[in-house]
Chain A
């Protein structure tokens, strides 16, 4: 009897918690529709601070940031949304749009056809669908092994072995792609400039030579960090030291 009561209480708390987040989401949506972008942003950020990791949530936060004119944060959150689900078409489109709004033109390295194909293959499959695919392939391989054990004891096993080989190749491919994506997911060296401008110096001090000036929304990679300075590398290959508190890293937590 006691157990049932505890269980019911737990269920009720869970339901109320869900209901609570749903209320916040609807509230935020309403604010957004009424052009109250700051309030909408606050609501979404509250959910984010509660620890929710959701591609749509990041997308919406990025959207709100764009509406209140913080393009750097908008780009940051679109990158986060894409980090959670790299196949998110809306976030991709928005990021493309946002990059046209920045002051600096962000050069994108032009790949050849093959690497382009792989890049699109990698970016268009989300990690979770890869996990699902890998589970299916593993299941199929195990199923065929069972069949071999039970039905092919005295028979020619060429056909099942062949199928297993093909499936294994697919599994390896999925594994490679997953690994690449996972390392990209865990990699937090990518950052977005949030300050209006940042000056790149040739060393971690303002006394060094100025190398470049970048503006809000610039995406770059961080190579090294020390004493409140960070060595960054721009997509066109230029590197320099900028003050560390001008940017935010694209990390989920």
Chain B
């Protein structure tokens, strides 16, 4: 039932709104000649405009009413998917001026559904002769070409609308630049962007496409377009200049002939700079937040019946108009048993750019049971209306915190670590055995150890090389071991010689033969002759060669010739052998 009522109310109000009409009057030119006719248009717009009766023109002094013509146009606009129809009905009266001078066209009254709509009066100057040559309108553009500049300025300009010219530091103002034109504009572009010195600037609106509205200004009809809307927050005091906006407008000129498609001419339109006065704030109180404007504060909590350990949200909302984005949020007093987490702050600005709200949301955790009061939170700002500092407060809240399932150990009552109560020097070290702490790097033992370890590398390397030679070269092995064999046989031979044994010769011959065989890399058991002949090829001293030959011969004689062995000569032969061996071992093969 309620819903239906609301629905009906909406429909009804919509109808009421739709029933609204707008009435406007304007003239084509405010300056006309005595010979010209003044065209006064009464324009009625609104969805019900057709139902309005023709307006009755009051008797206008010094003008003669020559009758009227009507015309109507309708347009459809789609706003958010909803069609809105707009019908405009025009009644154009022709008025013949009777004499020259400055006259006022009185307001025209229109009665619609018992409501009276009144237009604004228009001042018209009537000059002698015809003033038509100065007339310009969007349908008469070829004249614009030849126009002098004053006329262009009259018909194409930017109006700067400032919301307030006398403000306090920090108080925002809205600056709106509106382009007024009576020409056919084909293209618009921005000139150089001015710097806004002394202001903190926020862009509120910039058009994305060219779209004109019609508006009456000084009794004349203009095409207007909002070029830019900004909010300015002055941050210095004194007389500040709001910079001008520069717009480059391409204006289509009317074609003079059938083959002329018309040209465009570029005009540089610059708005008039406007000065504002920024006043310094009076001495600020200590708790001043930095806010300038008109604000209200509101607080609410999500729940006032909670348990220990539960959380709730505490929301502070500061709304109003002013520098919403720039003030500091109110400080929270310390409240026992409640833990406020860092707030979540969101700022919402309305379309106008200077009003809106700032919402500060705290997540609060209850830490102890009982009744806890959240005190009022105050916010101090400068009221730009009364020009005084004002403190506004929230209402206090009382929370009822019940015993929860969780036992929450608050940081203040938590266990603390054992604190040091005093410090003293450490106790003596019991030296069991007093030894010098030597620096090892400075001791010879360290470096000797390192050196010894390093020495093992070349030793190991040489050893490995020897091993390799021995294993890969049989001859090398034999010549290497030859001396050993010779020594062995020599020992045996010496022993035999001492005991005057005949076997001395056998041992001597075998040892010498094997030694030579190994040294000269010939197979063992080669005949003595072969060995001797091989020996002769080597660079052996002739004396030694003869000695060896002699030894072999002597041995053969002693061993194989009957009576060749005599014990008297054995020592002599041993000496001979020892000499030869000594010589041989010096030799290199």
Contacts and interface: CB of A to CB of B under 8 A. Distances in A.
Q: A and B, one complex? A: yes
Interface of A: 18, 21-22, 25, 29, 32, 47, 51-57, 59-60, 63, 66-67, 74, 84-85, 90, 93-94, 97-98, 100, 127-128, 130-132, 135, 138-139, 142, 145-146, 149-150, 153, 178, 182, 185
Contacts of B461: 149
A130 B433 CA distance: 23
B431 A127 contact: no
Interface stretch (B387-395, B435-443, B501-509): B435-443
A99 B342 CA distance: 41
A18 B433 contact: yes
A128 B434 contact: no
B436 A149 contact: no
13 contacts: A25-B431, A54-B434, A54-B437, A59-B428, A63-B427, A94-B426, A97-B423, A97-B424, A97-B425, A127-B440, A128-B440, A130-B441, A153-B468
B453 A93 contact: no
A59 B429 CA distance: 8
B440 A85 contact: no
B587 interface: no
Nearest to B454: A142
A25 B434 CA distance: 8
Contacts of A29: 428, 430
Identify whether the interface residues of A are mostly helix, strand, loop, or mixed.
Answer: helix
Given A60-B428, A63-B426, A146 B456 contact: yes
Given A57-B434, A132-B440, A135-B450, A93 B464 contact: no
Contacts, number: 93
Contacts of B454: 138, 142
A189 B468 CA distance: 58
Contact of A127 (B424, B439, B468): B439
Interface in B357-373: none
A177 to B, nearest CB: 11
B66 interface: no
Given A85-B437, A145-B457, A60 B446 contact: no
A149 B426 contact: no
Nearest to A66: B425
A158 B518 CA distance: 41
B194 to A, nearest CB: 48
Interface of B: 423-431, 433-441, 446, 449-450, 453-454, 456-457, 460-461, 464, 468
A128 B439 contact: yes
A131 B440 contact: yes
Contacts of A90: 426, 429
A18 B456 CA distance: 38
A51 B436 CA distance: 8
B431 A94 contact: no
A131 B445 CA distance: 11
A182 B442 CA distance: 9
Nearest to A126: B437
Identify whether the interface residues of B are mostly helix, strand, loop, or mixed.
Answer: loop
A95 to B, nearest CB: 10
Given A63-B428, A90-B429, A93-B426, A47 B434 contact: yes
Nearest to B441: A131
A146 B459 CA distance: 10
Contacts of B437: 53-55, 84-85, 128
Given A145-B457, A146-B456, A52 B426 contact: no
Contacts of B424: 97
Contacts of A84: 437
Given A138-B450, A138-B453, A185-B439, A149 B434 contact: no
Given A21-B434, A32-B428, A138-B450, 9 more contacts: A22-B434, A59-B429, A67-B425, A84-B437, A90-B426, A142-B454, A142-B457, A150-B464, A153-B468
Nearest to A93: B426
A135 B449 CA distance: 8
Contacts of B425: 63, 66-67, 74, 94, 97-98
A2 B435 CA distance: 30
Given A138-B450, A145-B457, A54 B426 contact: no
Nearest to B439: A127
A142 B431 contact: no
B432 to A, nearest CB: 8
Query: Interface centre among B424, B426, B461, by most A CB within 10 Å?
Result: B426
Given A25-B431, A97-B424, A150-B464, A53 B438 contact: yes
A135 B456 CA distance: 15
B439 A146 contact: no
A54 B431 contact: yes
Contact of B453 (A94, A100, A139): A139
A228 B176 CA distance: 83
Query: Interface centre among B425, B430, B456, by most A CB within 10 Å?
Result: B425
Given A54-B435, A142-B456, A146-B457, A127 B450 contact: no
Nearest to A179: B441
B172 to A, nearest CB: 46
A28 to B, nearest CB: 8
10 closest A-B pairs by CB: A131-B440, A56-B429, A21-B434, A84-B437, A128-B440, A142-B453, A56-B431, A25-B431, A53-B436, A94-B426
Nearest to B462: A149
A18 B436 CA distance: 12
Given A63-B425, A135-B446, A139-B453, A52 B436 contact: yes
A51 B457 CA distance: 39
A188 to B, nearest CB: 14
A213 to B, nearest CB: 26
Nearest to A135: B449
Given A53-B436, A149-B464, A131 B446 contact: yes
A92 to B, nearest CB: 10
A72 to B, nearest CB: 14
Contacts of A85: 437
A22 B433 contact: yes
Given A94-B425, A146-B457, A60 B464 contact: no
A149 B423 contact: no
Contacts of A66: 425
A149 B460 contact: yes
Nearest to A92: B426
B212 to A, nearest CB: 65
Contacts of A32: 428
A153 B430 CA distance: 55
Contacts of B431: 25, 54, 56-57, 60
Nearest to B434: A21
